[in-house]
Amino acid sequence: MQIDVQVSDKILHTVGYFMLTISWLMAYNVKSNPMKLSLLIASAVFIYGIIIEILQGALTDYRQADLYDVFANFSGIAVAIMFFALVLKKN
């Protein structure tokens, strides 16, 4: 069994969800309980990604849901949370 993974597509997913998560984190930069807010934003973005994957598999004939896209989305979200906590939050 051979798994054909298009690397560029997964990189685009990772970068896209990184940018989406960073945008939300910067927009809602709240001083009180930042970890709770970060987890809420990360969860919302992750659920959004899953819903988009399900819808493209269910509603289109030319696209399909891909579990690897969900993993790439999660990777972008996780890197964004770490980047925000370690780099941007210090400024």
Q: 31-47 pLDDT, tens per residue? A: 667 788 899 999 999 99
Nearest CA among 77, 76, 83 for reference residue 15: 76
What integer pLDDT is reported at residue 17 of this predicted model? Answer: 97
Residue, of 30 and 58, whose pLDDT is higher: 58
- How many domains does the structure of the chain reveal? 1
CB neighbours of 45 closer than 8 A, spacing ≥ 6? 17, 20, 21, 24, 73, 77
Element (H or E) spanning 80, and its range? helix 67-83
Q: How many Cα atoms within 13 Å fall on the side-chain side of residue 6? A: 6
Confidence (pLDDT) at 62: 86
Residue range 51-80: average pLDDT? 92
Q: Is residue 59 in some structural domain?
A: yes
Q: Does residue 1 fall inside a structural domain?
A: no
In a domain, 27, yes or no: yes
Q: What is the pLDDT of residue 63?
A: 83
Note down the domain range covering 66. Answer: 7-88
Does residue 19 form part of some domain?
yes
Q: Is residue 43 part of a domain?
A: yes
CA–CA gap between residue 84 and residue 90 (Å, rounded)? 9
Given a cut of 60, is residue 23 above it in pLDDT?
Answer: yes
